[in-house]
Amino acid sequence: MSSRSLAPLSSRNNQEHMGLGLADGMRAHKPGQRVVLGLLSENDQHNRVFGEVSSKYDTAFHVALHHNARVGVHEYEPVIAHPSEQPASFLLDSELLLLDDAVNDVGSGSCMDASMQLVPEEETTSHDILCVPEYAEDIHRYLRECEIKYRPKPSYMRKQPDITNCMRVILVDWLVEVGEEYKLCSETLFLAVNYLDRFLSCMSVLRGKLQLVGTAAILLAAKYEEVYPPELEEFVYITDDTYTKKQVLRMEQHLLRVLAFDMTAPTVLQLLMQYTLEEHICATTTNLALYLSELSLLEVDPFVQYLPSKIAAAAYCLANYTLNGALWPENLYAFTGYSLTVIGPCLKELHKLHIGAASRPQRAIQEKFKSSKVLWCVLAQTCGGFATTLVFGP
């Protein structure tokens, strides 16, 4: 196999004086394989670099470690599990991250384009099993029950000794690029972030293993959601071979155990699709709501404190107001039980995130939605179009 061509990474400004840096996007094409999207280098490894600039993305990430560590994941102190909380890990300390360098030739199937990311601009009829009209209320009631059971702990990041909100933002932005590169369903991305947050709610992770956790999360989500998920080798390759197959497989097993094999978690996307089918809106409004929903994945604070149903309602409201001048219809108030007053705090936070999105260094979500020309024109013109003070306060 031919060696990759190397070129130096350029670092962005230091963030949170935690030794975290971003690399301007330089990606090399591996002969006969896909494009490397990003890397997270460890202290005991040489700095890996990307080759020529590729055509689609311009972001990658690089985290430099300050401390050598053999164990990258630790359990928190025992937590009493309540019915509505995530079950605690039952792993022994010796099992936490005994990651060997041995390689297992295990794959998960071939890869092919799985789904489109955006709703077509023309009107379409959904055949989503979650939106069957006869069972819509029953399905919604079940999802609302499950979202409480499978939600991450709202304050989990405060207990993480070595990672920060900024590092998670960079990781999620990278996961968006991975999803675009392999044409994964949007639901795969939402599931992967759910798995990531639930895992971090129970386990303490060193920054050098954070990308490994994210890689295992999107591998599991792809296996769950995709008809033809990418092979294991592809997920190893997208980390620039920072981790071995054995490490990815061990982390996948570890993640499954910590999550107690509960993989069917309700997501913002599922609930948003229910809302859009219950109260029909045009495809452009739906795409704007999808864009806003994906933006919410970036920030653990404050959005981890809100249930997916509430974030979906806020995304619907903001998109509906931006394009149609309407907010929360009576039909959805009756369907969800959420009033505009209940949605208001989340709506304000989502609007603030929407306004600041254009100036963020993480651009993967914006690049993803550029394929919808109509939506992109809307995004370019609607940064400050939502008058929250008129609706929710004096």
Q: Could you list the residue range(s) of the whole structural domain that residue 319 is in?
A: 267-392
- The verdict on residue 137 lying in a domain is no
Cα dihedral 153, 154, 160, 166 sign: positive
15 and 1, same structural domain?
yes
CATH code for position 329: 1.10.472.10
What is the token pair recorded at 214?
Answer: 């994210």
Residue at 134 is within a domain: no
DSSP alpha helices (H): ranges in the chain? 136-149, 165-181, 186-202, 207-225, 232-237, 245-258, 268-278, 283-298, 308-324, 330-336, 340-356, 364-369, 373-381, 388-392
Distance CA 394, CA 385 (A): 18
Residue 66 falls inside a structural domain = yes
Q: Are residues 216 and 358 in the same domain?
A: no
Tell whether 211 and 321 lie within a shared domain: no
Least confident interval from 14-23, 28-37, 142-151 = 14-23
Q: Answer yes or no: do 111 and 207 share one domain.
A: yes
Q: Are residues 209 and 289 in the same domain?
A: no
> Is the domain of 206 the same as that of 297?
no
Residues 239 and 286 in one domain: no
Question: Is the dihedral angle over the CA atoms 162, 157, 199, 12 positive or is it negative?
Answer: negative
Specify whether 80 is located in the same domain as 174: yes
**Residue 52: predicted pLDDT:** 35
At 118, the pLDDT band (50, 70, 90 cuts) reads low
Q: Note if the pTM is more than 0.85.
A: no
Nearest-angstrom CA–CA distance, 328 and 318: 9
Indicate if 247 and 298 belong to the same structural domain.
Answer: no
Contact call for residues 58 and 25 (beta carbons, < 8 A): yes
Q: What is the mean pLDDT of residues 188-207?
A: 93
- For residue 151, is it within any domain? no
- Tokens coding 31: 């002969």
Q: Is the pLDDT of residue 137 over 50?
A: yes
| Count of structural domains, the chain | 2
Exposed e or buried b for every residue in 165-191, given b needs 16+ CB within 10 A?
eebbbbbbbbbbbbbbbbbbbbbbbbb
Query: Are residues 36 and 180 located together in one domain of the fold?
Result: yes
Confirm whether 148 is domain-assigned.
no
Which one of 263, 295, 314 terminates a domain? 263
The reply to whether 182 and 77 lie within a common domain is yes
Q: How confident is the model at residue 277 (pLDDT cuts 50, 70, 90)?
A: confident
Classify residue 327: in a domain, yes or no.
Answer: yes
Are 388 and 285 contained in the same domain?
yes
**Domain boundary at 233, 263, 293, which?**
263
Q: Which of 216, 246, 263 is the last residue of a domain?
A: 263
Residue 229, in any domain of the structure? yes
Q: Are 258 and 271 in contact (CB under 8 A)?
A: no
Is the predicted pLDDT of residue 26 greater than 90, yes or no? no
Instruction: Please provide the average confidence, as pLDDT, over all residues in the chain.
Output: 71
Tell me, yes or no, whether 241 lies in a domain. yes
Query: Tell me, what's the pLDDT at 282?
Result: 87
Which range, 59-73, 237-251, 374-388, is most confident?
237-251
